[in-house]
Chain A
């Protein structure tokens, strides 16, 4: 048997008062230690809300879907009467009459519907350390009522009855109280144990009540008499839960309670015990037990309704780990069961502190689909709620979460609900022309195999081959230096740079502007270096447009000088595909650019002309005598510019003309290019 159970067995039932006192004191101390722990609970059914009460007495209600603080409530006496337990009012019974449709034409129906809405209140019962129970309405966000006069000591557990408006509470003062929540009065109060009663649970049919101090008792709610005793735990029980709603063997008639299993966990106990309610009164020991790494602090389970369906159990321990169990309950099991899956959360520990730190899990609950879990972790003041679907086959699972970043991203959402996704500088940017933006040009023969190659890392292989080949030839090449040392050294440098992939050398070589030098270098360059050079140039073309203007000169001379070599290459099309696409995409904008350029050119010349005119008005005035030539309107003489200064119409006309006559534009543009090297984009046009 489990150690806890053995301990219980060893203890005789009729213990002396002294012993009970001792146990009570111990439990009290344990509860005192617990004081620092947050009390939390999920709202029933959809688990839409999560209520957590921090040690300072504030109650926070979080929205689980958006992990957002929905409301905060500070009881007036939160420091003296801290919250000790929480219980959400149960969902309405499933078989509720459907309210009539809103669109019903009958007015009468409408009224009844409105009334229906009225009664729907979402109530959270809060037990306090001084013995009062607060009913807090989570829809309105205000305190609804206060149940007083039942207990005169710390309330240990609060449970709602499923159907009637009853609330059960147990306290350190050894009593169990049944409340009528409609009148806020004590309905019934009875002594539940010789020591403090720490936990309660109502049977699925609502007719029985489990209570536990250290031993567990099953009460008949009608007569308030003890129906069964169970040995319980050595320490005070912190959680009680029914795990089944129907007995597993259906051949016997079901009286609502016999054959059901329930689960209990106790403080300082690393075993969760499962008990079965049997018809024979003899059996008092646990049926089986689950072992966890530390004291359980939060337990959630899915109730199995079918015999074959396993009970799923999620246990959060004090050490911040979550254990998942899956077990089909069918009678005895001697050995304590270990968890199917353990979940831990840790920080990545990459930046700054290199050691990952564990993040405690505060609570966990199964979602409605019984597959995914809602995890609450982090600080009790700012918990993070996340929905995870866990693959239970692999264990243990360690989730890595960057708490700091999550919280910093969350703060924005709290009020405006606007979430800003992370955009880093390391994002890959694809613009037209860059490889990857469009599919690579393939030779028609290149089939699927080729593509597969490409998708992996084909390029590196090729380049190694090339390099090896190049290395061999290079040695021979170096031996035959002749002619101009200047350009030759450039060629050598270039080849060396290409082989070693040395950016510095390549920069030195490729950034030359002199047409002549480039031509000579390319001419003297070994043939095998042409393709690497082309690749290098393509890479550089993708970058800064300014560097592109320099690279274009190189390209030009390569194509003029090595065209014959290139045409012999069998895989020329894929080799130059990227370059081709790059050119295409760049040239695509040429038309627009040249149009823009044309307009700008006119503007600039006009501005310049008007300026010069203003400067030399005196001089021009004299020349104005020669005014016979009226035909030369087209040439846009200076005089016309003066005239046009104010009238927009003529100007427009001019512009249109410019657009119409593209050729004229081009010539103008050429002139500009000749004059200044300011427009690097236009270089590509020369290709």
Chain B
């Protein structure tokens, strides 16, 4: 499944991009395709860090680390070459994280610092990852069976402790055969004693100690209402109880499954459709379940009657995970949002970037007021997505109807959106798909500055009798209100012009409302597109194969253009110096440019253009073509048929939508070739709803503008307790990390070795004499002072960092401790009495190895 990665790798110029010398920002480096939002799907359950401050979450090829306090992305752990399918904290070290990926590797990270520690190459595709505290040096993964297709097995992988960054992990042992590929279908029971796996209608439980495998199944065909296939499984953390979710919405709680026959199960039923994930609370007293209803259900005491709900989560819940202290619960949704819910079922935080919607019908629109990208969000809502912060600003509930999550139910959704030039007016079209005639509504919203919110001004039912295919405002920058026009084109063969009128009715509270001014049609063809020229004097409406140009004052048909065969797909007017041109793309694969002055075809090109996007601030027009399974970008000025910029192989997916977003301040681009990027930036959305842009800079630089390169030491050791603990821990971790380095350094720097290697052979003493010295120099001596006494003085010097015994080191530290608090704490610590001091020392001498477990 290299889909998410493939697109980015498709950007042909990465080699050149990396070669840009440091510091030369404006140098004409190659333009890269950079993904900037709409992260691909979550591959696995999210994981909380042990202190519940951070959330780690698989997102495409990356593991993202979020801060729960601020909802911001702290780190991006990148390095996997495929979708990340599993994220698990290292059960033996809570500061480390295992991640598995489809590229067949398991990586161990230090996630606080974002450093990859080790990479284990397994070789197979890894579909899920489980790490258990009970298993010392192995993790469990789901891999496809080599012999058969579409069968998977759960294997345990021994992770070797060998040194080095890239390791092979080939010691696999099969635990369970024929398991489901989904990570939700396997769960490990109390203290890792057993593993439960579900597939289709079977539940199998394997006990590690007894090496016993029990199989249970539910009858395959039970009722018409739905299949009762297993969808997910969860194990009780304290008791022997397995909860399974089913496709018909039931949850079964299995007990006594040590016996093949006398097992029991009870059923909980609330969901009307598939249970998508289950999670037990930390203590196991309650069970959380979620499904397509987008309602989180909390079952208390495994009873059907005691349940609580958190409804309106926005979209189907895909994964549920609990924080280790039980304070939070996190749900990952199908539309890429992450919701943090606190223990009493209240919304706490929500981390949402670009929300994935079923189908983006509105296109990409830029809100002139907030400079946010506006498109379909959750059903019936418009999402305002901030490009700068990669966060959703808000989602505007246009339809204002409760969305009912049910398959096959047709619901009202937004299909068209348009903003007036200053963002003062917003026009939305909502539609409910029906077989015969759609239910349409055109709403015109006014931005009320007093309340800082949009206010509905006019609602028009059934503005057209068939689908609305195009809508645009007449954009006049000076924006006198009477020049404001809205045009809608519909498949009912007409286009309608809406104007603002002053209300004559004395009862009406509003001073203005919208009404239809003109209805135009052309030979009873379906109207497909409409757009205004820059000065607003001309309106172009395309009717199937023909483009008609209308005078926007008298509504007379001025002229028609046609480029048969092929229907018109897109039209737009040129701007600024090129305002005499009209550009159209046909679905027969032609891009045509007509001159409006002499009504003649200026030039045409044979290109299968899907998107035609004029830059609102310059003459440039971007066109995205789709040919032989790749998208290419052409940027041109209408007055010359030669494109200014061509980027072939923009991405492997179809690009249906693009938008130019004006920059706040023009970027300094010296290269002639990229002048078109100076004033605005081109964003485009692929079929898989990834937002990409073309940039000479990389993603990080753009997305964290307020960040700074500054390493500030975390100096918050203010209590004596934390001082003690913190010091010890830090030292230990340094020791852990440093061991390898010290080792290496040791024998390279050792003068004995140097001497041995660099002295000419004829000067050297006999080998028998040198040997013990050499061997000794390689040893890391502990407590055996005799060995040190044997070795010569030079070596003593080199090893004097090492040769302290444990006790001695302790003493040394104690001394440090005596001085350090003086500095850091001032008088407070000095007041400690002798007895207290002694006690502290005692504590100090105790064994702290258990701390490392945290």
A interface list, Cβ under 8 A from B:
43-46, 48-49, 61, 63, 65-68, 70-71, 88-92, 94-107, 109-111, 113-123, 135, 138-146, 148-149, 165, 181-184, 348, 367-370, 384, 386-387, 399-402, 405-406, 409, 413, 415-424, 426-432, 435-439, 448, 451, 455, 457, 459-460
Tell me which residues across on chain A come within 8 A of B501, comparing CB atoms. Answer: 436, 455
Q: A96 near B709 (CB under 8 angstroms)?
A: yes
Tell me which residues across on chain A come within 8 A of B398, comparing CB atoms. Answer: 421
Known contacts A48-B389, A92-B707, A114-B76; decide if A432 and B461 are in contact (CB<8 Å): yes
Q: B710 near A121 (CB under 8 angstroms)?
A: yes
Tell me which residues across on chain A come within 8 A of B263, comparing CB atoms. Answer: none
Q: A66 near B393 (CB under 8 angstroms)?
A: yes
Tell me which residues across on chain A come within 8 A of B115, comparing CB atoms. Answer: 114-115
Which residue in A103, A104, A140, A421 is a CB contact (below 8 Å) of B397? A421
| Distance in Å: Cβ of A550 to nearest Cβ of chain B | 22
Whether B221 is near chain A, meaning CB under 8 Å from some CB there, is no
Q: Encode B676-711 as 1/0 by CB contact (under 8 A) with A.
A: 000000000000000000001111110011111111
Interface residues of B in 16-33 (CB under 8 A from A): 17-18, 20, 22-23, 25, 29, 32
Sample of 19 A–B contacts (CB below 8 Å): A71-B70, A96-B701, A102-B699, A111-B79, A139-B72, A139-B707, A149-B826, A386-B452, A401-B449, A402-B451, A416-B312, A422-B454, A424-B509, A427-B459, A428-B459, A429-B460, A430-B460, A430-B516, A455-B517
Q: A427 near B711 (CB under 8 angstroms)?
A: no
Q: A121 near B700 (CB under 8 angstroms)?
A: no
Q: A417 near B77 (CB under 8 angstroms)?
A: no
Tell me which residues across on chain A come within 8 A of B169, comparing CB atoms. Answer: none
Q: B713 near A102 (CB under 8 angstroms)?
A: no
| Distance in Å: Cβ of A652 to nearest Cβ of chain B | 19
Q: B664 near A368 (CB under 8 angstroms)?
A: yes
Which residue in B15, B450, B509, B706 is a CB contact (below 8 Å) of A426? B509
Tell me which residues across on chain B come within 8 A of A457, comparing CB atoms. Answer: 502, 504
Q: A117 near B393 (CB under 8 angstroms)?
A: no
Complex Cα–Cα for A143 and B515 (A): 57
Q: A145 near B459 (CB under 8 angstroms)?
A: no
Known contacts A48-B705, A109-B18; decide if A438 and B519 are in contact (CB<8 Å): yes
Tell me which residues across on chain B come within 8 A of A429, comparing CB atoms. Answer: 458-461
Tell me which residues across on chain B come within 8 A of A114, comparing CB atoms. Answer: 75-79, 114-116
Most B CB atoms within 10 A — which of A120, A122, A184? A120
Complex Cα–Cα for A145 and B710 (A): 13
Q: Can you name 20 extra interface pairs (CB under 8 A) apart from A114-B78, A422-B454, A430-B459?
A: A48-B389, A66-B386, A70-B71, A90-B708, A91-B708, A98-B20, A102-B78, A123-B710, A369-B665, A387-B370, A401-B449, A405-B453, A416-B312, A419-B453, A421-B453, A422-B455, A430-B516, A436-B501, A436-B515, A455-B501
Q: B347 near A409 (CB under 8 angstroms)?
A: no
Tell me which residues across on chain B come within 8 A of A103, comparing CB atoms. Answer: 8-9, 11, 14, 32
Tell me which residues across on chain B come within 8 A of A46, comparing CB atoms. Answer: 388, 705-706
Tell me which residues across on chain B come within 8 A of A66, comparing CB atoms. Answer: 386, 393-394
Whether B179 is near chain A, meaning CB under 8 Å from some CB there, is no
Most A CB atoms within 10 A — which of B451, B502, B519, B714? B451
Q: A409 near B453 (CB under 8 angstroms)?
A: yes
Most A CB atoms within 10 A — which of B314, B348, B499, B513? B513
Whether B381 is near chain A, meaning CB under 8 Å from some CB there, is yes
Complex Cα–Cα for A280 and B763 (A): 73
Interface residues of B in 66-120 (CB under 8 A from A): 67-72, 74-79, 113-116
Tell me which residues across on chain A come within 8 A of B35, comparing CB atoms. Answer: 102
Tell me which residues across on chain A come within 8 A of B515, comparing CB atoms. Answer: 430, 435-437
Complex Cα–Cα for A193 and B21 (A): 47
Q: A405 near B451 (CB under 8 angstroms)?
A: yes
Q: A100 near B708 (CB under 8 angstroms)?
A: no
Chain A residue nearest to B30 in the complex (CB): A101
Known contacts A99-B700, A367-B664, A455-B501; decide if A117 and B75 are in contact (CB<8 Å): yes
Whether B510 is near chain A, meaning CB under 8 Å from some CB there, is yes
Whether B718 is near chain A, meaning CB under 8 Å from some CB there, is yes
Tell me which residues across on chain A come within 8 A of B496, comparing CB atoms. Answer: 438-439
Complex Cα–Cα for A409 and B451 (A): 8
Whether B462 is near chain A, meaning CB under 8 Å from some CB there, is yes
Tell me which residues across on chain B come within 8 A of A418, comparing CB atoms. Answer: 381, 394-397
Complex Cα–Cα for A139 and B710 (A): 13
Chain B residue nearest to A137 in the complex (CB): B712
| Distance in Å: Cβ of A394 to nearest Cβ of chain B | 15
Q: A120 near B698 (CB under 8 angstroms)?
A: no
Interface residues of B in 357-401 (CB under 8 A from A): 369-370, 372, 381, 386, 388-389, 392-398, 400
Which residue in A99, A401, A460 is a CB contact (below 8 Å) of B701? A99
Tell me which residues across on chain A come within 8 A of B697, comparing CB atoms. Answer: 98
| Distance in Å: Cβ of B577 to nearest Cβ of chain A | 24
| Distance in Å: Cβ of B480 to nearest Cβ of chain A | 14
Q: B711 near A182 (CB under 8 angstroms)?
A: yes
Most A CB atoms within 10 A — which of B8, B496, B704? B704
Whether B136 is near chain A, meaning CB under 8 Å from some CB there, is no
Interface residues of B in 450-502 (CB under 8 A from A): 450-463, 496-497, 499, 501-502
Known contacts A101-B698, A368-B665; decide if A424 and B456 are in contact (CB<8 Å): yes
Whether B543 is near chain A, meaning CB under 8 Å from some CB there, is no
Q: B451 near A406 (CB under 8 angstroms)?
A: yes
Q: A141 near B705 (CB under 8 angstroms)?
A: no
Tell me which residues across on chain A come within 8 A of B77, comparing CB atoms. Answer: 114
Tell me which residues across on chain B come within 8 A of A369, comparing CB atoms. Answer: 664-665
Tell me which residues across on chain B come within 8 A of A420, comparing CB atoms. Answer: 396-397, 400
Q: A421 near B698 (CB under 8 angstroms)?
A: no
Tell me which residues across on chain B come within 8 A of A90, comparing CB atoms. Answer: 708
Tell me which residues across on chain A come within 8 A of B20, comparing CB atoms. Answer: 98
Tell me which residues across on chain B come within 8 A of A120, comparing CB atoms. Answer: 700, 704, 707-709
| Distance in Å: Cβ of B390 to nearest Cβ of chain A | 11
Interface residues of B in 333-373 (CB under 8 A from A): 347-348, 350, 352, 369-370, 372
Q: A428 near B704 (CB under 8 angstroms)?
A: no
| Distance in Å: Cβ of B487 to nearest Cβ of chain A | 13
Q: Encode B699-743 as 1/0 by CB contact (under 8 A) with A.
A: 111001111111111111010000000000000000000000000
Q: A49 near B706 (CB under 8 angstroms)?
A: yes
Q: B710 near A437 (CB under 8 angstroms)?
A: no
Complex Cα–Cα for A253 and B320 (A): 65
| Distance in Å: Cβ of B32 to nearest Cβ of chain A | 5
Chain B residue nearest to A105 in the complex (CB): B14
Which 3 residue pairs are nearest across A and B when measured between Cβ atoms?
A141-B69, A436-B515, A97-B22
| Distance in Å: Cβ of B366 to nearest Cβ of chain A | 14
Tell me which residues across on chain A come within 8 A of B457, comparing CB atoms. Answer: 427-428
| Distance in Å: Cβ of B748 to nearest Cβ of chain A | 23
Most B CB atoms within 10 A — which of A117, A183, A384, A401? A117
| Distance in Å: Cβ of B346 to nearest Cβ of chain A | 8
Tell me which residues across on chain A come within 8 A of B433, comparing CB atoms. Answer: none
Which residue in A44, A387, A417, A455 is a CB contact (below 8 Å) of B394? A417
Which residue in B114, B347, B826 is a CB contact (below 8 Å) of A118? B114
Whether B626 is near chain A, meaning CB under 8 Å from some CB there, is no
Complex Cα–Cα for A135 and B716 (A): 10
Complex Cα–Cα for A19 and B460 (A): 75
Chain A residue nearest to B504 in the complex (CB): A457
Chain B residue nearest to A142 in the complex (CB): B69
Q: B460 near A437 (CB under 8 angstroms)?
A: yes
Q: A419 near B518 (CB under 8 angstroms)?
A: no
Tell me which residues across on chain A come within 8 A of B29, comparing CB atoms. Answer: 98
Whether B216 is near chain A, meaning CB under 8 Å from some CB there, is no
| Distance in Å: Cβ of A100 to nearest Cβ of chain B | 4
Q: B516 near A104 (CB under 8 angstroms)?
A: no
Chain B residue nearest to A419 in the complex (CB): B394
Whether B508 is near chain A, meaning CB under 8 Å from some CB there, is yes
Tell me which residues across on chain A come within 8 A of B699, comparing CB atoms. Answer: 102
| Distance in Å: Cβ of A94 to nearest Cβ of chain B | 8
Complex Cα–Cα for A95 and B67 (A): 28
Chain B residue nearest to A456 in the complex (CB): B502
